[in-house]
């Protein structure tokens, strides 16, 4: 004890406010009556078994002195148990749970379950030996009229008061307050803030931090880590959630504005597809209508001609028909006379017997001759087909049967081979067509390149040339940026990557400021049938007028700009501003850079956006667009053209070969099919038929040689038959001619009627005038037949044109309907990104009639909505978001500065407090920036999230978008990871703390304490208690005004894990500061502090789970324990 007494000789006097009495009514388990603790301004100890109510008494003191947001109930337990205690649970007296038999859910039990009658009062009296007036503070709690809201009234009195004597009849209307104000020196408050300000002033506390420190002192437990001890016990946590909520609210507005821009942009993108498709549809519709009108005009003109020619031809046909009808009558009379003579001759022949037999045999010969021709024809065809299959013509049924058995198998084999070959030929033909088209495009590209020196793609160049020609400008008046740039010599390794990054810029047209209005007007009013990007150059600068410090490590330093263009200086400046990417293949350097580029084409922009496009080979110079020398590109393309021509010739040869093979196979299959159609050998056995015919001819010859009269009659019959045949032919020709003339009459009449029908209601004369020259036909000299032939040609040509227009119109309509549908019902990806997409598509339909609606919507979005959204987005970012970010950052920075100030003030107090009296040393705390990468990265992220105000003022869209994504990244990270947010927004974690022990004589350092983990238990306790005591001395104002100061602390189980020597050190330290200490500890730890205690508040739980407290002196404790010989200091 001697050593300890040497450590502490500080005399702070006996002034200051100490707790004289604590009274509670209906607080936790202390029920039904007023319970009183009487420490009498001396050190005391609260003890009792676990669960008896010790913490309930401590929480009553904390409730009296600490605001709710800084207060922690039940600090001796873990975090989970702390949440079990609330003001509501204390007022109602929660003490356990039961299980509801019906729902099996746990039900909390209360000493005071009826809210209407539950009233709780806390009262504490503090006295100061240097002042005559005590200070009584207290709080009254009850439930309002609805019995759901807990109400609180606070009071402060400058005299002794008690619950029993002054607050025994509390009414909800507050009449007791009026009565007390009349009889007592008392003031009531409606808020804790006003109440605390009043008693802090009386207690001489420096600030509200003194109350927080009182609360922290109660909960001091773990002193193993110096950093944690200072952060958690010495420093207040800054409330950042409210400011973060404001930041999120402003971000939500910003995000909504950005989403509106993205939504409008996506709508415009899809609507521009509708616009392009609509323009194409209208162009095709005009061509179709013109073709249809041309056909209608032609039909009217032809109808007029037909009316004239049909009338003339009809008159001529009627005259000719009458002439032929007279000739027909003559032919019929001659035929009747010949038939009569023939009848007489045949009657004579029939009377001859041989003639009947000969007629029968001749009829048989006629049948056999016809059959012989058919059988012999089949035999020859079968033989040819058999030869194709490598077989000979069969001469007997057996050989015919063998060949028939082979045909089915042969047909199946040929079918499989033909199918496979036809599929291969179809695929090759499609590839051949595609290759021809690509060769055509490639030849056009080569021809285009040979007419110029730049590497700009032909399609882009043609659009530029069309625009320039329409405006009457020379092409060079609006150059592409790419034709004015190339790589610096020796930088070939970066050419491919540079080409990819700079391609959009390279393919942008440059237009002088004075030309921009005219160009914009033209572009806006014309369908360009493609995409164009042009950049307005507000000031043309030569290279001599622009100074850009070249940096060969950055992309713009590797680009050479053509010096003979008025845009050169502007390009140089733009490259430096927009393409300052660091060129590096070091991924570490790439990671740390805000803008970077690797030689493989990986691009980083804005610190967050990464892109790599490998759709083309990196070294494929055919895709390069920069430079003013295209000879190498032409050579590569010509080489590619030669290779493609060789490939297409190989394809053509192979297609011809395949066609020949298929033709052979088809011929074989047809032969097989024909051969299989012949089922019986008799169908090709012509030898047997020929033999039978020869035999019958022999019989006829024998019969004729035996009768000469018959021969004479036969000769007469023959001549009459020839005459009849001639007359019949002439008769038939005449009839046919009359029929043809009648048909022509009918057709001419029909033509006349057709012409009349077409001409009804139409102006034939005007149509003839409009179309005569185009038709090239004179209706006065022509005929209907000639008109029909020429009409067919005209109609073919006009129908072909109409068909072509129809074939173009239908796909154009379908394409337009398709993009309309894509707008009305976009992909699931678009709907997921923009959930309210369909809010503006409900009244649209994918129909041609709604094209104007789509165009009006596009015009509104492009001209009104999108500019408005962008303006609002810029306003949100420039004003609300920046202000909110600055406010949020300022809150955190101010909190960090507050910590600096607090450590400085604490060090002043520490310097006044001797740490080692023998060596005359003191403690000084050090604050350093925390090197934790999580904290460091957050602070960097927070700093980088602030937009470049200068660039935003200049309407830098790239910076605006980049700033938005940086803010988005920050807020989403904070919002999605609560544990990370709590760590990085707790400014106390931004610093690490250490302590140094210094000699007071010369200020040299005796020892450095970076972390208490390496210290002994006694050293840790001594250091922690010293810092705590210093904080108390400062915040309580012990040295500022010893008379008017607060001298009371509560420590809850602080000595449960320390040895007696450390407990003694702490109590001596508190005594040196003249502090009244109320220690809370279990029964088995009383010995550690009993030499510093005057009285004990013994807490126990009686029947009905009611807590009770009894005051006894320390001597009574010792007597009860039988240990009265304890050494006293």
pLDDT at 1056: 63
1091 assigned to some structural domain: yes
- Cα-based distances in Å from 828 to 267, 304, 822, 825, 832: 15, 60, 11, 9, 6
d(CA 185, CA 156): 9
Q: What residue spans of 351-396 are helical by DSSP H?
A: 353-388
3-state helix, strand, coil in the chain (%, to 5): 65, 10, 25
**Segment 434-472, tens digit of pLDDT:** 888 888 888 888 888 888 888 899 889 989 998 998 888
Q: Is residue 997 part of a domain?
A: no
Q: Is residue 583 part of a domain?
A: yes
CA angle, residues 712, 717, 720, in degrees to nearest 5: 130
Question: What's the confidence (pLDDT) of residue 5?
Answer: 36
* pLDDT the model gives residue 511: 94
Q: Which of 126, 164, 121, 119 is nearest to 39 (CA)?
A: 126
Please determine, for residue 225, whether its predicted confidence score (pLDDT) is greater than 50.
Answer: yes
Q: How many CB atoms lie within 10 A of CB 655?
A: 16
- Which domain-ending residue is among 582, 603, 628? 628
Q: Is the pLDDT of residue 780 over 60?
A: no
Residue 520, pLDDT above cutoff 60: yes
Do residues 1054 and 1028 lie in contact, with contact meaning Cβ atoms separated by under 8 Å?
A: no
- Three-state SS for 632-686 is HHHHHHHHHHHHHHHHHHHHHHHHHHHHHHHHHHHHHHHHHHHHHHCCCHHHCCH
Q: What is the mean pLDDT of residues 548-577?
A: 86
Q: Give 878's DSSP letter.
A: I
Q: What count of other Cβ atoms lies within 10 Å of the Cβ of residue 1066?
A: 27
What six digits make up the tokens of 748?
């001419």
What pLDDT was estimated at residue 161? 95
Is the residue at 773 inside a domain? no
Which of 587, 606, 628 represents a domain boundary (last residue)? Answer: 628
Q: What phi, psi does 770 have (nearest 5°)?
A: -65, -35
Query: Which range is least confidently modeled, 109-113, 169-173, 659-663, 1105-1109?
Result: 169-173
Only one residue has tokens 């420096």, namely 206
Residues 6+ apart with CB under 8 A from 72: 62, 82, 215, 219
Question: How distant is the alpha carbon of residue 98 from its chain centre?
Answer: 52
What was the pLDDT predicted at 1127? 41
Q: Does a structural domain hold residue 1018? A: no
Once rounded to an integer, what is the mean pLDDT over residues 973-991? 87
CA within 13 Å, CB half, 833: 15
- Is residue 733 assigned to a domain? no
- What is the average pLDDT across 100-123? 81
Q: Rounded mean pLDDT of the chain? A: 82
Residue bearing the bigger pLDDT, 702 or 819: 819
Domain boundary among 628, 657, 673: 628
More reliable by pLDDT, 856 or 712: 856
Of 40-44, 105-109, 353-357, 1071-1075, the range with the highest mean pLDDT is 40-44
Structure tokens at 442: 């490639």
pLDDT at 3: 32
Q: What is the mean pLDDT of residues 589-609?
A: 89
Q: Considering only 138-147, 258-267, 287-296, 805-814, which range has the smallest mean pLDDT?
A: 287-296
Cα 74 from Cα 218, distance rounded (Å): 10
Q: Which of 2-11, 29-38, 406-415, 982-991 has the lowest mean pLDDT?
A: 2-11
413: helix, strand or coil: helix
920: left (phi over 0), alpha (psi -120 to 50) or beta: left
Does 746 reside within a domain? no
Collect contacts of 885-888 with beta carbons under 8 A, ≥24 apart: 885/247, 885/945, 885/946, 885/967, 886/946, 887/243, 887/246, 888/240, 888/243, 888/244, 888/246, 888/247
Cα dihedral 178/180/185/189 (nearest 10): -60
Confidence (pLDDT) at 276: 92
What's the CATH code of the domain at 116?
A: 3.40.50.300
Q: Is residue 115 part of a domain?
A: yes
Q: Give the whole-number percent of the chain exceeding pLDDT 90.
A: 19
Return d(Cα 40, Cα 1048) in angstroms, integer. Answer: 12
| Res 227 pLDDT > 70 | yes
Neighbours of 802 (CB within 10 A): 20
Indicate whether 138 pLDDT > 50: yes
The pLDDT value given to residue 773: 54
Half-sphere exposure of 270 (CA within 13 A, CB side): 21
Asked if residue 388 lies in contact with residue 403, where contact means CB atoms within 8 angstroms, the answer is no
Residue-wise pLDDT tens digits, 238-292: 888 888 888 888 888 888 888 888 888 888 999 899 999 999 988 998 888 888 8
The answer to whether 54 and 1108 have CB atoms below 8 angstroms apart is no
Average pLDDT estimate for 992-1021: 80
Q: What is the mean pLDDT of residues 869-873?
A: 83
| Three-state secondary structure call for residue 800 | helix
Answer yes or no: is pLDDT of 36 > 90.
yes
Q: Pick the range with the lowest mean pLDDT from 102-111, 779-788, 905-914, 936-945.
A: 779-788
601: containing domain: 453-628
Q: Do 17 and 133 meet the contact criterion of CB atoms below 8 Å apart?
A: no
Tell whether the model's pLDDT for residue 950 goes beyond 80.
no
> d(Cα 388, Cα 750) in Å, to the nearest integer?
54
**pLDDT band with cut points at 50, 70 and 90 for residue 730:** confident
Write the burial class of residue 1032 (CB in 10 Å: 0-12 exposed, 13-18 middle, 19+ buried). buried
Taking 50 as the threshold, does the pLDDT of residue 10 lie above it?
no
> Sorting pLDDT into bands at 50, 70 and 90, what band is 135?
very high
What is the count of structural domains for the chain?
2
At 170 the pLDDT is: 87
d(CA 693, CA 53): 140
């Amino acid at each position: 004890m001697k050593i300890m007494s040497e450590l502490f000789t500080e005399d702070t006097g006996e002034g200051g406010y100490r707790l004289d009495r604590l009274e509670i009514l209906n607080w936790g388990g202390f029920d039904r009556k007023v319970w009183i603790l009487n420490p009498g301004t001396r050190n005391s100890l609260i003890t009792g078994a676990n669960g008896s109510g010790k913490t309930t008494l401590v929480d009553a003191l904390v409730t009296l002195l600490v605001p709710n947001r800084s207060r922690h109930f039940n600090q001796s337990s873990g975090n989970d148990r702390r949440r079990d205690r609330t003001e509501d649970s204390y007022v109602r007296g929660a003490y356990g749970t039961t299980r509801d038999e019906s729902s099996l859910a746990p039900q909390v039990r209360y000493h005071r379950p009826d809210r209407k009658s539950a009233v709780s009062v806390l009262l504490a009296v503090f006295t100061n030996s240097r002042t005559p007036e005590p200070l009584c503070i207290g709080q009254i709690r009850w439930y309002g009229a609805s019995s759901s809201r807990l109400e609180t009234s606070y009071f402060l009195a400058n005299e002794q008061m008690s619950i029993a004597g002054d607050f025994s009849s509390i009414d909800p209307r507050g009449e007791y307050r009026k009565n007390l104000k009349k009889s007592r020196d008392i003031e009531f408050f409606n808020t804790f803030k006003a109440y605390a300000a009043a008693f802090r002033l009386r207690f001489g506390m420096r600030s509200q931090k003194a109350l927080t420190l009182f609360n922290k002192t109660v909960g001091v437990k773990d002193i193993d880590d110096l950093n944690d001890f200072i952060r958690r016990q010495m420093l207040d946590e800054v409330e950042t959630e409210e400011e973060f909520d404001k930041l999120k609210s402003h971000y939500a507005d910003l995000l909504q504005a950005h989403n509106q821009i993205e939504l409008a942009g996506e709508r415009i993108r899809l609507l521009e597809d509708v616009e392009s498709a609509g323009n194409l549809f209208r162009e095709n519709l005009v061509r179709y209508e013109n073709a249809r009108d041309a056909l209608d005009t032609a039909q009217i003109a032809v109808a007029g001609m037909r009316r004239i020619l049909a009338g003339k031809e009809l008159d001529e046909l009627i005259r000719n028909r009458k002439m032929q009808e007279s000739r027909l009558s003559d032919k019929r009379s001659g035929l009747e006379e010949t038939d009569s003579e023939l009848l007489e001759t045949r009657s004579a022949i029939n009377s001859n017997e041989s003639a009947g037999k000969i007629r029968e045999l001749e009829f048989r010969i006629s049948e056999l001759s016809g059959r012989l021709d058919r059988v012999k024809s089949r035999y020859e065809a079968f033989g040819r087909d058999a030869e194709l299959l490598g077989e000979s013509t069969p001469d007997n049924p057996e050989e015919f049967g063998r060949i028939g058995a082979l045909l089915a198998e042969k047909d199946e084999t040929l079918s499989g081979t033909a199918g496979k070959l036809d599929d291969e030929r179809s695929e090759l033909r499609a590839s051949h067509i595609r290759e021809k088209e690509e060769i055509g495009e490639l030849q056009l590209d080569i021809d285009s390149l040979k007419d110029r020196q730049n590497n700009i793609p032909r399609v882009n160049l043609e659009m530029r040339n069309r625009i320039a020609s329409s405006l009457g400008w020379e092409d060079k008046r609006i150059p592409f940026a790419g034709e004015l740039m190339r790589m610096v010599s020796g930088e070939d390794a970066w050419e491919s990557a540079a080409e990819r990054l700079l391609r959009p810029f390279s393919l942008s047209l440059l237009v002088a400021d004075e030309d921009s209005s005219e160009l914009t007007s033209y572009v806006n009013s014309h369908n360009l049938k493609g995409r164009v990007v042009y950049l307005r150059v507000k000031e043309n600068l030569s290279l001599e007028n622009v100074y850009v410090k070249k940096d060969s490590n950055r992309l713009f330093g590797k680009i050479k700009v053509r010096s003979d263009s008025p845009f050169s200086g502007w390009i140089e400046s733009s490259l430096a501003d927009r393409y300052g990417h660091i060129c590096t293949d070091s991924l570490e350097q790439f990671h740390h850079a805000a803008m970077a580029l690797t030689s493989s084409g990986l691009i980083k922009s804005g610190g967050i956006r990464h892109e790599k496009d490998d759709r083309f080979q990196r070294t494929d110079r055919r895709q390069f667009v920069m430079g003013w020398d295209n000879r190498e590109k032409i050579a590569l393309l010509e080489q590619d053209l030669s290779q493609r021509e060789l490939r297409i010739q190989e394809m053509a040869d192979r297609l011809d070969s395949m066609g020949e093979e298929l033709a052979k196979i088809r011929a074989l299959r047809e032969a097989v099919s024909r051969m299989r159609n012949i089922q019986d050998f008799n169908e090709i056995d012509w030898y047997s038929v020929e033999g039978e015919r020869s035999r019958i001819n022999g019989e006829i010859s024998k019969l004729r040689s035996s009768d000469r009269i018959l021969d004479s009659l036969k000769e007469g019959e023959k001549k009459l038959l020839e005459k009849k045949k001639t007359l019949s032919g002439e008769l038939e020709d005449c009839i046919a001619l009359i029929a043809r003339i009648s048909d022509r009459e009918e057709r001419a009449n029909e033509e006349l009627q057709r012409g009349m029908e077409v001409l009804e209601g139409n102006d034939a004369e005007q149509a003839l005038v409009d179309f005569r020259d185009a038709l090239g036909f004179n209706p006065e000299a022509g005929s209907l037949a000639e008109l029909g032939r020429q009409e067919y040609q005209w109609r073919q040509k006009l129908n072909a044109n109409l068909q072509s227009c129809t074939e173009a119109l239908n796909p154009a309509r379908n394409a337009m309907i398709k993009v309309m549908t894509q707008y009305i019902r976009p992909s699931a990806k678009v709907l997921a990104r923009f959930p309210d997409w369909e809010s503006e598509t409900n009244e649209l339909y994918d129909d041609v009639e709604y094209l104007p609606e789509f165009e009006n919507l596009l015009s509104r979005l492009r001209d009104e909505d999108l500019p408005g959204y962008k303006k609002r987005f810029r306003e949100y970012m420039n004003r609300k978001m920046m202000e909110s970010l600055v406010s949020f950052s300022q809150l955190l920075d101010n909190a960090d500065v507050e910590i600096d100030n607090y450590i400085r003030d604490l060090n002043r107090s520490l310097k006044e407090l001797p740490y080692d009296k023998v060596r005359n040393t003191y403690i000084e705390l050090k604050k350093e920036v925390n090197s934790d990468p999580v904290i460091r990265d957050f602070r960097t992220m927070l700093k980088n999230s602030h937009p470049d105000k200068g660039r935003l003022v200049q309407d830098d869209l790239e910076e605006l978008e980049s700033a938005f994504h940086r803010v988005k990244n920050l807020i989403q990270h904070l919002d999605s990871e609560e544990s990370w947010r709590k760590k990085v927004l707790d400014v106390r974690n931004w610093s690490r703390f250490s302590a140094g022990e210094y000699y007071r004589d010369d200020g040299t350092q005796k020892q450095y304490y970076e972390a208490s983990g390496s210290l002994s238990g006694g050293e840790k306790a001594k250091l922690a208690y010293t810092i705590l005591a210093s904080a108390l001395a400062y915040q309580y104002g012990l040295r500022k005004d010893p008379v008017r100061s607060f001298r009371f602390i509560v420590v809850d189980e602080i000595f449960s894990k320390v040895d007696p020597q450390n407990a003694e050190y702490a109590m001596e330290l508190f005594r040196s500061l003249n502090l009244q200490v109320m220690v809370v500890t279990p029964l088995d730890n009383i010995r550690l502090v009993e030499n510093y205690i005057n009285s004990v508040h013994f807490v126990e739980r009686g029947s009905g789970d009611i807590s009770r407290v009894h005051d006894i002196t320390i001597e009574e404790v010792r007597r009860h324990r039988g240990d009265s010989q304890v050494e006293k200091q």
